[in-house]
Structure 1
Amino acid sequence: PDSITFIGAGIISIEFASIMIKSGVEVNVVHHTNQALEGFNESHVNKLIQKLKDEGVKFYFSENTKSVKPNAQRFIVETESGKMIETDYVLDATGRKPNVQQIGLEKVGILFSDRGIEVDDYLRTNVKNIYASGDV
């Protein structure tokens, strides 16, 4: 494609944005807060974002996506503030939600929340000898 717009500025969007810009594709990233890669070291993230900006990635921070509409062979991404971004492709990478409510964790006493299975720094759950890692 000539251009792509990522909705969300998490690890998936930033990784793919860095690949696409090096391939000569025009890259836009629209994110609802003023910080990409939330949860990571802000100083390091800021350096990475500046490097991507220097390479040509356009960031639209503190912008909520209002709509994505087809326009001939392309798409128009409209933000709530009225910005219009014309693009060939749109990738929605606004995050994932754990799906652990109905897999029986409560039967063995494993603690979980809306964020997923609760683990310590060593990926141990609250139940002895049961660990959780990756996309669980």
Structure 2
Amino acid sequence: MDIRFPYSLVEVAKVRMVQFGILSPDEIIEYSETMERGKPKLGGLSDPRLGTIDRKMKCETCMANTAECPGHFGHLELTKPMFHIGVLKTVLSIMRCVCFNCSKILANEEEHKFKQARKIRNPTDLKRS
């Protein structure tokens, strides 16, 4: 059995129409899964274990208030890998410096800056100017 297409008892039919739309702000709140009985939902986007945004509540991880809690990490599991838009330009510029076929650095090896860079063994030893 193919797990991507599990067996279903639903009758197969021809698709007659597909419609896309944009939700209104009220519809977004109505369908939202972040609150449960007026409180942030565990496992939701405003999970109280990640830090609190409400002055009346304490963080469920460190028990600090909004002013003292540093915030805590969480993650969302996505169905597909996503690019981080904040580093995309940097990654692309680095990738353009390397040959797609042979992985050789695309630089003039006789250039002074290239020769200086080849001498660096530990990038953390570089002094920032």
Normalising by the smaller structure, the TM-score range is: under 0.3
Q: Point out the structure with the larger strand share.
A: 1
Bigger Cα Rg: 2
Structure of higher RCO (CA pairs closer than 8 Å, 6+ residues apart):
1
State TM-score, norm by structure 1.
0.18
